[in-house]
Amino acid sequence: MLYRKPTFKDVEAIHKLVNDYAEKGLMLARSRNVLYETLRDMIVAEEDGRILGVGALHLVWDELAEIRALAVAPETVRKGVGRVLVAKLTEEAVELGVKTLFALTYQPEFFAKQGFNEANKDKLPHKVWKECINCPKFPNCDEIAMMKEI
């Protein structure tokens, strides 16, 4: 499995992977526009020319970052791809000086296995919510906040 930064040619595969999960209510949908704008935030897992996983590190505020858009192809679930993506995003966060990582997720068990703890969403800075205005679930977010000090 190759883990690398994505290029423009990967956007369609990323869009399909993320939005297939979103259609099942397992994560939030991402538009192509958002994916193009945040391409530099992402890491993809590729094997035999296929994108089998994606995750993004979004810098939010002073020493605070979010892991978002984490998705793994169904045939590679439970094979360590998501774990490696989180580890690589965490390494990148450390290099940037991030002290706290968080994720808003419907899969808290996965993040707990990666060392994250459930947190009260009200404790997150207001900066975290600036993009939530565009979410169809705003203001009734049902995602679970998970945090990790690094």
58, 61, 60, 5: which is closest to 34 by C-alpha?
A: 58
CATH of the domain at 26: 3.40.630.30
Counted domains in the chain: 1
- Measured over the CA atoms of residue 47, residue 39, residue 15 and residue 111, the dihedral's sign is positive
Q: Could you list the mean pLDDT of each consecutive 10-residue stretch along the chain, which spans 150 residues?
A: 98 97 88 96 97 97 94 95 98 97 93 95 64 60 87
32, 31, 93, 43: which is closest to 70 by C-alpha?
A: 43
Residue range(s) defining the domain that contains residue 40: 2-149
Record the pTM: 0.90
